[in-house]
A and B are shown apart, each in its own frame.
Chain A
Amino acid sequence: MRKDIIAMVLAGGRVDELSVLTLKRPKAALPLWGTYRIIDFALSNLMNSGIDIVGVLSQYKPYSLIGHIQNGSHWDYIGRGREVRILSPFKGNYDSDWYKGTADAVYQNLNFVSHYDCDDVLIISGDHIYSMDYRKVLAFHREKEADLTIVFKKVPLKEAHRFGIAQMDESQRVIKYIEKPSEPFSDYASLTIYIFKTEILKDLVTYNAHHGRTYQIYSEIIPYMLENGYKVYGYIFEGYWQYARTIQEYWRTNFDILNRDNITILESMNIRTNTNYFEYSDTPPAFISYGSRVQNSIIPPGVRVYGTVINSILSPGVVVEKGAVVEDSIVFGFTHIGQNARVYTTILDKNVQIQEGVVVGEKKSGDDLPITIIGRNTVIPAGTKIEGNCIIYPDLQESDFKSKLITRGSEYKGAGV
């Protein structure tokens, strides 16, 4: 089938820095801002850019991602000539052909690319939060007759060491690129959004598959292209862009939304999500009870508040019972916070049960952010106190808690572990 451009979304990654939040889901499937998942941003951008064919490369615990994407209809990927396809690893010549890196993931799916007879391939990450019209990048790419166009954004120089950093000449041709340089020579950071000429991409990842060591686009393909005189150009993006590589970043990105201007930006981004996934679509509007207090917070449908919610991001189906306090926290879907419980500076994953009178976390003071995280489905028994900076594992039952106190900085996997 003839298409001028197709897209591949790299959504496989699990990052250890996200702790128990990514024990059971890839980063791209993490909830954000109450009703979204991070991959909604990539998928909505693709939809808004009119890109018809999308392959999502996923290998780490893909169920929540597969369930969320479903048949793609929520991003209009349904109908003749439009589709979003999950490209999971498959058995090839060898017993296990797990994706070894981004370049390898593309290499293993070259038959998907070939199927479409396309001039260019857009490769993006599924775990960034931004709104971009990729058609503008494509127009730039075609105008420059580039072999590869990379999207860059200016970042504060002191943060540049965490990104791939490029130097460009006045025509925006990339003349130097170093991944995570210890001494940054520029403040143009790669957003890992690439447009490759299809034929060149095929050649390079095929070569890389036989000669590579890291099998990554950023550490092998880009340097190789620069060394060998390929035309690599940089498109400069200005606008909201965030990611969530660490808990601190995930936290900050979440709280960006408690700001009216950012809500307006979010509305203008035209971000769609799958409202049918699990019970989300069937939740009634939020109910805010008599005698409750809700301030500076995000309240999606299905939330019921009888207590106090301050500076917090709630997800659908969360219940905050009478006398309970939730402050400076992020709460995922269908978590229940019992009477008189108090939750400070904490991330509560999905379906967590906080029983009566439990105290979780510490109030934040100044720059110190003692984030406590409680994993999916865990039940915290009545009267337990969990201090700041703790990590509590998913799926723990009442009987897994032998002590009423979990002290600051603990990583708790259950009794006897």
Chain B
Amino acid sequence: MRNSRDTLVMLLAGGVGSRLNILATKRAKPAVPFAGMYRIIDFTLSNIMHSDLEVVGVLTQYKPLSLMDHIGSGEHWNLYGRKRGIKILPPHTGEADSDWYKGTADAIYQNIPFMENYKPDKVLILSGDHIYRMDYEKMISFHEKKGAALTIAAMPVPIEEAHRFGVMVVNESDEIIEFQEKVKNPRSNLASMGIYVFNYRILCEELRNIVGNKKGFDFGKDIIPSMLNRYKLVCYKFNDYWRDVGTIESYHSANMDCLDPSTGLDLYNWGLCTNLQDDRIGDKPPSLFGPASICSNSIVSRGCIIEGEVYNSVLSPGVRVMKGAKVYDSVVFSNVLIESNSVIKRCIIDKHVQIGTDCIIGEGEDTPNREFPSHLSCGITVIGKNVHIPDNTTIGKNCIIYPDVIINNNLPGLVIKSGETIKFT
């Protein structure tokens, strides 16, 4: 166990997640639901808990409300007690009128006073928007053993994807000799996971020098390159399951990974914890499977009623699939109602959506989304929070229906073609 004088945790949870499109328009990326009853940040918080760390500062900025609700007192991750705690650190006004966090390093820089309360020996910097399991204790001991000023966790990624990450070149003793942040032709496929162990004094010095003098605001772009030839930087290699889930496709496919422990994502052995009081999940009754239900290769959270058929899908709490309805390869958020005889294929359906009877959603041509072709071309249709889809509606592939859109239910047999985006009523 490491107390807060040894290692303090700073968790960057401000992620906008813009490529998650409408899933992240009303919530920060760490607060996006995942695997039925969890939120993305649960993975990091559970890692912190299992690594026996005691004090966490959570840096929020973008739509923090659902995140703050979810974190609560921190007791669900054993971060509540005399010496344990989780503190939300929102941006605050400082010398300038508006000191919104300008980057990852700026967010930490602006909270040096918080860290000074603890005067830790080391700071572990994490981000709240990845799906993985890691024992940070091993990384911190590695950092100590190497006598490094900064240790960066990294994992090999396919070289064609490496341009999306900070990548590093290391020598045979894992020392980082080169670091490139999101460049076109990276010289390595060893990608930074955005997990850093810093020596606290050196971290503060660097932040004051660079961020304090407004020379830069980001770890990957500014702090790491500046430290490269002056300090010992080492790479902690990680080779297990880790997903960024930054896009609709990767989000959907990581959810599907939960259905098969051989992918490396094993919910039943990871010891994940969540806040069951959030959204009153814990108060829901257990799920009821009806007399004619068929369910195959699926995750079913509590409070569901399944009278129809569910295949290869992930259901959040309170989902209802009525008689004759069929759900295939989909991720369905909480309290969604799918009325009888509707067919849902490869969809992500946000909270409180109601789908009328005899709808067909997710069938049609493979046209990429016209408005956001870069977000959505893999065939998945996304329906935003609170939308009611009238009876007999047909919706194609790669469609986006914005949250709270009211669809006129006097239109019998409404057809929304593949690739369309519905933003207004």
B-binding residues in A (CB < 8 A): 33-35, 257-258, 260, 263, 266-267, 270-273, 275, 281-282, 284-301, 304, 309, 314
Contact = CB atoms under 8 A, between A and B. Distances in A.
Contacts of B37: 284-285, 301
A294 B287 CA distance: 11
B283 interface: yes
B262 interface: no
Interface string B51-68: 000000000000000000
A289 to B, nearest CB: 6
Interface stretch (B84-92, B93-101, B266-274): B266-274
B297 A298 contact: no
Contacts of B293: 294-296
Q: How large is the interface on B (under 10, 10 to 19, 20 to 34, 35 or more residues)?
A: 35 or more
Contact of A291 (B35, B259, B272, B296): B296
Interface string B302-314: 1001010010000
A300 B296 contact: no
A260 B273 contact: no
A187 to B, nearest CB: 31
The B contact surface, by secondary structure, is: loop
A44 to B, nearest CB: 9
User: Which 4 A-B pairs rank lowest in CB-CB distance, beginning with the nearest?
Assistant: A300-B286, A34-B286, A275-B282, A285-B36
B114 interface: no
B210 to A, nearest CB: 42
Contacts of A271: 283, 285
B298 A288 contact: yes
Given A294-B295, A295-B292, A286 B287 contact: yes
Contacts of A295: 289-293
Given A33-B285, A281-B273, A286 B301 contact: yes
A144 B412 CA distance: 59
A350 to B, nearest CB: 16
B34 to A, nearest CB: 11
A106 B227 CA distance: 72
A284 B35 contact: yes
A128 B305 CA distance: 26
B201 to A, nearest CB: 38
B296 A292 contact: yes
Nearest to A309: B289
A263 B305 contact: yes
B21 to A, nearest CB: 25
B290 A266 contact: no
Contact of A300 (B302, B305, B307): B302
B35 A267 contact: no
B283 A33 contact: no
B336 to A, nearest CB: 15
Most buried by A among B259, B289, B293, B302: B289
Contacts of B401: none
Contacts of B272: 282, 284
A272 B282 CA distance: 8
Contacts of B35: 284-285
B300 interface: yes
